[in-house]
Structure 1
Amino acid sequence: MTSPHSIDVEYDLVFAGGGTAACIIASRLATAFPDLQILVLESGPTTKDKMDHIQPGHYITHLAPGSKTAQFYTSKASEHVAGRSVVVPSGRCIGGGSSINFMLYNRPSGSDFDDWETEFGNPGWSAKEMIPMLQKAETYELDPQKPTHGADGPLKVSYGGEVLDIGMNFLELGPKLEKDRPYREEGNGLDLASINVFFRMPKWISSDARRSDVAHHYIYNKTWKNLSVLDGCLVRRVVIENDVATGVEYLFNNQIHESAPQDIRTVKARKMVVVSAGTMGSPLILERSGVGKKEVLERAGIPVVAELPGVGENYQDHTFLVTPYIADPKTTTLDTLFRGEPEVWARAQEAWEKDGTGRLGSNGVDSAIKMRPRPDELPELGPDFVEYWNNTLANKPDKPLFWLSALPGIPADQSALPPLNFMCSGCILGYPASRGYLHISSSDPYAAPDFDAGYLSNPADVVALRWGYKKGRELLRRMSAFRGPLGPANPQFSPESPAAIIETVPAPLDAPKIVYSAEDDKAIDAHVRQIVETTWHSLGTCAMKPREQGGVVDSKLNVYGIRNLKVADLSIPPSNVNCNTYSAAIAVGEKAAMIIAEELGKAL
């Protein structure tokens, strides 16, 4: 058996993980410090020049069973999600989530970053410092001079190569039904003006319809003499000697390099080890290195090097409620692509190759609203919601309760469905109250972790999604393409309830809104628990906050108690961010590059 890569025994910097943040940091440092030798070890495959990672419309294929570009984590079965086990995919390839995500340009609220600084004691992480990190990374092709956006960064933002009627109808209808929620051009300004407005949805897609991933725009577009980014290298643990990180142990991932030898190898780091394996991978690497909760380590037979009980705790996601409806057969949706119909793919490929147009040049999500209840609407959510609201969102007016949109198709396996056109109400909670955890089950890097996603364990999340279902239903039932609910995938109301109305044509704009009884609300809650899923926005498992509060890293990303060891990825946010988390990962990557560069003696 031959080794897939030739790896030196020593480098200056070694990265355990090659996802979004790692690629940004390594690229910035390799450019600034040409004499530094930098190694990035990624457990997944390369993405270089692969159509699956360049052409936007391929995004759904990365979630297919057997995908090698995503790692699938199965949570424990839970009564909170109707006895189900939820599956949470995470990017596992060079570029990480940036190479496989849905490319929604959905940025956070400014107070999200401010919270990291003021509530968790992290100077330098406020919106004032972090917005420039976002600007540095992007070229906002829609209007490069727009406030808070970037004009000359490596990642491009546009509306993509195709705009579908469903999104535009949602955008047109929304302000008419929600009369105090107008249309605005900007829904991503990181400010109060971006809340409760309907807006066109930008995408991490260039104007020539290419995915804006970090692998192709920070790494593959340059020739490096001092940077090696290697695929299929699974980091087992960080080597720690006398409380100093001195290197990592790794092996060649047999899921990527099937015939590679499986012996454990070591590479030394002269200056620093940066763990950047993502929310799901980073806490597992730390625990296999002896850094974590004592009981977890002892149960796995690993000696305790540094007791940090917060490792693997504080798991958060944005729970996602997708409610499908039948759409007019003449309306263009993405369902035929999702079903993999060969003729449709061939025509779409031809259009994309010609001029970047067609469904493969976009993600189909063309409009949205970041919705926050007004004071007069809060009674609709009921008394169970008040405590959560008062403690988290009431005094932060730039934070929405959820993101809501009309999706042109069901982005999932449709093998059990009739070959129809669909559209969905998509509701993503911005700040779920529920928490979970992720820990190793053994020292084996291939072993499945002990994972509890914690979805809906706090009832406030169910109430919020119940309201999101109602808002989405009222909007979609009035859209021109609406042809009725997809029965089994909707709440099961009592036949006598007015909420059980079966409409097969659009309701008039002035149609009365559906009134729900307490029993109807219970039916919606049961539906929410049965159908809620991940948005692939995992974060928080190596939180940046004080050690005594369960923190794992400080504001300079240093792991408490260990020198020359940092964590830099989406595992470090101490609290959630209202965004598709690619934006947050970019900001963390750019900030981490600046922090490390300063420690090495140069300002970026």
Structure 2
Amino acid sequence: MANSGLPPPSFDYVIAGGGAAGLVLASRLTEDPKIQVLVLEAGEDLTADPRINIPAMWVQLAGTSADWCFKTSPQTALGGREIEFPQGRLLGGSSALNTMLLIASSKSNLDFWARLGNEGWDWASLSNCLKNVYSLHSSTSSLSADRGNGPIQASFPEEDSKWPQIWRDTIADLGFSADNPPFSGSVCGAVTRPEAVDPKSKTRSYVANTYLSSASSRPNLVVWTSTLVEKILFSSPRGEDDQPVATGVQYTSTRDGQTLTGQTVSARRDVIISAGAINTPRLLELSGVGDAKRLRSLGIPVVVDNPFVGEGLQNHAIVPLSFEIAPGEGEGDGFDTIDALSRQDPAALAAAMEAYGRQTGPLSKSNTNVQAQLPFPNITSEEGKRDLERILNDTLRTTAGESESFPDTTNKTTPAYDAALKSYVRSVLESPTETSAFYMTVPGWASYNPNGSWAPVPAGNEKYYSAPVLLSHPLSRGSVHVTKSSPPTATETSTTKPTEFGLEVNPNYLSHPLDVEVLARHVQFVESVLVATAKPLATHIKQSSSAKRSPGLPPGPRAFAGDEGLERARKYVRETALGAFHWTSTCMMLPREDGGVVDPQLRVYGCRNLRICDASIFPLVTRANTMATVYAVAEKGAEIIKAGL
């Protein structure tokens, strides 16, 4: 692996983006010694950085040079808030700064991908690809079929408090399974997730220190860091189809204190974009692939007219929910939390570091892997079914743009895709075994400020338990588009003002009224049932109006109970909802007439020798974290490309 000096004049494949997908592709393609691959990554190689390697330090890189430091446009349905969100700008991409959770999507979700016109992209295929991603270290016999044989090392963290079992027992008391197999594809109830953590070293296991590390000595693989791809280069149309041909890329590279601008490198076979759901459409539009009207208005020469580039942006809206635990539940009694550590208490820090030296304690894990995926609240009762039918009738027959409460929806989709998505979401909501929300747990404070930054744990000695809720299948969709014709400079990409990039990210959070109704009911369920009445969890939460809670959460207990409480839950959702780090679907894999940008071979419509392989191609966001599916998609992408050699 070379990282300095001038590259050869051409490679078989040039990959724009050295994140989770790009490095999997590079590793798999260069297994053939005759194939030469160049990877260009805008960020640096930080594989030795403890902020990456120590699992609990995953939040420390946000807002640094390793983060693109993006921010959304003002979100109409969220009161005009602009929300910050991290995206990895380093070797390994966001797999270097996320929560490390290996979460398979649901069978119904991935089978829906195939039904949209993507033959072979289904649960059976992608779950097999996922097994080539990870190796699960577990002695549990029920997981023997899910052990995998891939480079990413996966393990279950030590459970050193009573909180995980309390959560599982509480979910079981509500009538759901307490112990779902994490890779089953049909999780409904409590689930304990494996983390991408090497159990031998208790360090993050991610694409840069596994896939890339094992391939780094190959002479046919070159990786350049601190190298920003500015645009794709095309030759004039030729051949029977009279389509433009991607021939290489133009880039700017910084090495040894010098910045080289306007550099080019050629691809003999394909240019592959693996820049993620935000940067991939940016790169396409700067290269002349996108909505012709938009491109011409910016002075960008049109290469391929496709109005769906950058459209369809999806993400999970997340609502923070932190609750003060009952008095008397403290250190040494099995109810430890990470609050003292979050407060930077010197004694807690010293104890955590000492424990990590023994490969144990709160620094050795994400502290987020005990979770639940649950269906629409009360769906098995007649009252719950009537409630769901009413909101479906009220929201699915009225588009967000026609509703006074939700006036801002700008994404372009085709009627066929829109109808299919609504039908799928309806089927999920109506099923008692499909899940519409994803509940995380944290043994400590886990809340955010309205702009998306972390809200510090309140001063004092109180301890907290958090159960934030994510909406699994949003109907709200947004867009990512460039607002100027020139790529960002090296200086601009190192600032924390993404508007200087000439990029608008508009997820349109909660712009569809059904999203608000579903998410508000799940939030109501957490506040008024899970932490208020459900046993045993409720007995460990402080049930008093004086109990401290997430910012903006009304005093409890059961502030969201009943119809009036549901209206308060809606208000809380609009005032506090943010986005997860699960961006997808801006260059969807669909038939072109249905809004697609790539075909099932990952080829960009309207040109030749250009592919995309990253989360931007997802035709539907996964029902929870995206990392495992990104890895699986890259494995499948490598299979497709190698099969065509």
TM > 0.5 fold call: yes
Q: Which residue of 1 aligns with 2:207?
A: 214
| Structure 2 residue runs without a partner (length 5+) | 237-243, 397-420, 449-453, 489-500
Q: In the alignment, which residue of structure 2 is the partner of 1:391?
A: 423
In the aligned structure 1, how far is the partner of 2:348 from the partner of 2:225?
A: 33
The answer to whether the 8 A contact 1:322-1:532 is kept is: yes
C-alpha contact 1:114 1:127 (8 A) present in aligned 2: yes
Deviation of the 1:394 alpha carbon? 4.4
Kindly report which structure 2 residues correspond to 1:453-532, keeping only aligned pairs within 5 A, or say none. 453-473=507-527, 474-477=529-532, 478-483=537-542, 485-487=547-549, 489-492=551-554, 502-503=556-557, 516-532=561-577
- Correspondence list, 1:243-282, <5 A: 243-252=244-253, 259-282=257-280
Partner of 1:181: 176
Query: Which structure 1 residue ranges, 5 or more long, are not aligned?
Result: 493-499, 504-512
Instruction: Tell me, in whole angstroms, the C-alpha distance in 1 between the residues paired with 2:106 and 2:144.
Output: 14
Contact 1:440–1:450, Cα closer than 8 Å, also in 2: yes
Any conservation in 2 of the 1:4–1:260 contact (CA below 8 Å)?
Answer: no
**1:16·1:41 contact (CA, 8 Å) conserved in 2?**
yes
Gap change, CA 1:458 and 1:154, over 3 Å in 2: same
Structure 1 residue 110: Cα displacement:
1.0
2:623 is equivalent to residue 578 of structure 1: yes
Q: Distance in 1 between matches of 2:309 and 2:295?
A: 11
Partner of 1:170: 167
Deviation at 1:159, TM superposition (A): 1.3
The equivalent residue for 1:315 is 313
Please give the alpha-carbon distance, in whole angstroms, between the structure 2 residues aligned to 1:341 and 1:443: 48
Match of 1:417 in 2: 458
C-alpha deviation, 1:416, in angstroms: 7.5
Shift of 1:55: 1.7
Deviation at 1:6, TM superposition (A): 3.6
Provide, for residues 33-71 of structure 1, a one-character-per-residue CA deviation record: whole Å limited to 9, x for no partner: 1122211001111132322222211111122x3x12221
Give, in angstroms, the shift of residue 273 of structure 1: 0.4
Match of 1:129 among 125, 131, 136: 125
- Alpha-carbon deviation of 1:592? 0.5
SS in 2 for 1:489: coil
Between the two proteins, what is the percent identity of the paired residues?
Answer: 27
1:68 aligns with 2:65: yes
Contact 1:18 1:40 in 2 (8 A): yes
After alignment, is 298-307 or 198-207 more displaced? 198-207
Q: 1:205 aligns with which of 170, 194, 197?
A: 197
Note if contact 2:34-2:220 (Cα within 8 Å) is conserved in structure 1: yes
Letter in 2 for 1:92: R
Residue 299 (str. 1) matches residue 297 (str. 2): yes
Change (3 A) 1:515 1:61: closer
**1:558/1:567 contact within 8 Å kept:** yes
Q: Which residue number corresponds to residue 402 of structure 2?
A: none
Structure 1 residues 342 and 218, CA gap change in structure 2 (3 angstroms): farther
> Quick one: structure 1 residues 390 and 7, their matched pair in 2 at CA, closer, same or farther if it must change by over 3 Å?
closer
For residue 68 of structure 1, what is the amino acid of its counterpart? S
Shift of 1:549: 1.7
- Residue of structure 2 in register with 1:506 after alignment: none
Are the structure 2 counterparts of residues 232 and 515 from structure 1 closer, same or farther at C-alpha, using a change threshold of 3 Å? closer
Deviations 1:408-437 (A, max 9, x none): 223453447324422212111111110010
Separation (CA, whole Å) in 2 of partners of 1:69 and 1:382: 46
Are 1:378 and 2:385 matched, yes or no? yes
Deviation at 1:252, TM superposition (A): 2.4
Q: Which amino acid aligns with 1:249?
A: Q
Are the structure 2 counterparts of residues 121 and 414 from structure 1 closer, same or farther at C-alpha, using a change threshold of 3 Å? closer
- Partner of 1:9 in structure 2? 9
Deviates more, 1:217-226 or 1:425-434: 217-226
SS in 1 for 2:87: strand
What is the total number of aligned residue pairs between the two structures?
A: 568
Does 98-107 or 19-28 show the bigger shift? 98-107
Q: 1:515 to 1:264 in 2, by over 3 A?
A: closer
Name the SS of the counterpart of 1:21 in structure 2: helix
1:435 paired to 2:431 = no
Change (3 A) 1:73 1:382: farther
Amino acid at match of 1:486: K
Match of 2:240 in 1: none
Q: What displacement does 1:224 show? A: 2.0
Q: Secondary structure at the match of 2:164?
A: helix
Q: Give 1:87 deviation, angstroms.
A: 1.8
Instruction: Give 1:207's aligned amino acid.
Output: P
Amino acid at match of 2:18: G
Q: Which moved more, 1:358-367 or 1:231-240?
A: 358-367
Which whole-Å deviations, capped at 9, do the CAs of 1:338-374 have from their partners, x for residues lacking one? Answer: 34445433432232222x1111110112422110133
Residue by residue, what CA displacement relative to the aligned partner does 1:106-157 show, whole Å, maximum 9, x if unpaired? 2211121111111x21111111211110111111222487376243211122
CA distance in 2, matches of 1:542, 1:548: 13
Q: Tell whether 2:211 aligns with 1:227.
A: no
Partner of 2:498: none
Find the aligned partners of 1:525 and 1:147 in 2 and give their Cα distance.
43
**Aligned-residue CA RMSD (Å):** 2.4
Q: Distance in 2 between matches of 1:136 and 1:49?
A: 25
- SS at 1:71's partner residue? coil
**TM-score, normalised via structure 1 length:** 0.89
- Three-state SS of the structure 1 residue aligned to 2:69 is strand
* Alpha-carbon separation, structure 1, partners of 2:389 and 2:564: 14
Cα distance, 1:416–1:409 mapped onto 2, change above 3 Å: closer
Take 1:479 and 1:433, find their aligned partners in 2: how far apart are those partners? 32
Range that drifts further, 280-289 or 446-455: 446-455
Q: Is the 8 A contact 2:521 2:566 kept in 1?
A: no
- Residue 321 of structure 2 contacts residue 550 of structure 2 at CA under 8 Å; is this kept in 1? no
User: Match of 1:54, as an amino acid?
Assistant: N
Compute the displacement of 1:546 (Å): 1.1
